[in-house]
Amino acid sequence: MELGIDSFAAKFNIDGPDALSDAEAIAQLLQRIEYADQSGIHVFGIGEHHRREFLDSAPSNILAAAAGRTKNIRLTSAVTVLSAADPVRAFQDFATLDLISQGRAEMVVGRGSFTDAFPLFGYRLQDYDHLFTEKLDLLLQIRDQEKITWSGQFRPALVNQSIYPRPLQQKLPIWLGVGGTPQSFARAGALGLPLMVAIIGGQTHQFRPLVDLYRKAGKEAGFSEDQLKVGVHSLGYVAEGSQQAQDEFYPGYAKSMTNIGKERGWPPMTRDRFESQLGPEGALLVGSPEEIAAKIQRHSDALGGVSRFTFQMDTGNLSHEQQLKSIHLIGTVVNPLLNN
């Protein structure tokens, strides 16, 4: 099982007396990616947002900088907001990253959990699903063919057009990032794309019917079990002890989720609601290495087998030092517990 870290290059402490500059925050992020590589973490993902509190509006640039400082770790988006992107440019960015990293690039593409990119790049939110469907089709054609002819509604047609550069890998890995929409799971299966499920609340086993739908659609489309990989993206943090992990993660998590809740109509986050997610079936991966390794295995079993779990720590607004320690524990303790 692969273990990874996903980051949104978050910088929640924007105006306080101890606030880092943007350059300092990016420098620390690159240090964490380098340390993750040294600690045995398998994959590091950078999200895409277009908001003041995140510095990840150009994830391929961050990943390219990390490529020169790492040797083994896979470098991926988490996710590329494809609905508001040009698939030609997105492919070129990650094909170039693949060349820089000597074949370690991947993409996770999705529609994003925020809508900021739509007005920023001149798209209508009403076209949310049609944009993604059309652009995913174009991206996959570019991935699979050097020269294409294509036409659609939202982008000028391409006629016998070659797309360069080509990646080092024969087929650039493209995962489909999904939330809880059955159509998204079925689409991923029908296309034979590996699936990355964002599970940030509730109980993980509740996603089993959707994962089964994905596998059923994939098998009906003629894809093998090896092609139908399932990954899970979860909010998480590992410390030496369970109580320490909870106490360090909760304050930032509560603040972040409460702020997001103001936009989406959620109630404020409370300690009781937080702790309800920490049980054996809860979605949060917050605890000691032994506790989290056992919980990941339970989640994998509940979903019929998972090949990748990624931890998203940004929501906890943790210090650089806390994140480094957690990365070390995930790579050197959690990973051997799961894979030895």
Name the token pair of 312: 């998203």
Domain boundaries, the chain: 2-339
Q: Which of 319, 326, 321 is nearest to 12 (CA)?
A: 319
SS3 content of the chain, % helix, strand, coil (to 5): 45, 20, 35
pLDDT tens, residue by residue, 195-245: 999 999 899 999 999 999 999 999 999 999 889 999 999 999 999 999 999
Amino acid at 268: P
pTM, rounded to two decimals: 0.96
Amino acid at 248: E
As assigned by CATH, the class of the 2-339 domain is: alpha beta
Number of neighbouring beta carbons within 10 Å of residue 151 = 11
Burial (Cβ within 10 Å: 0-12, 13-18, ≥19) of residue 126: exposed
pLDDT at 15: 64
Of residues 111 and 207, which shows the higher confidence score?
207
pLDDT tens, residue by residue, 309-325: 999 999 999 999 999 99
pLDDT at 307: 97
The DSSP 8-state label assigned to residue 248 in this structure reads H
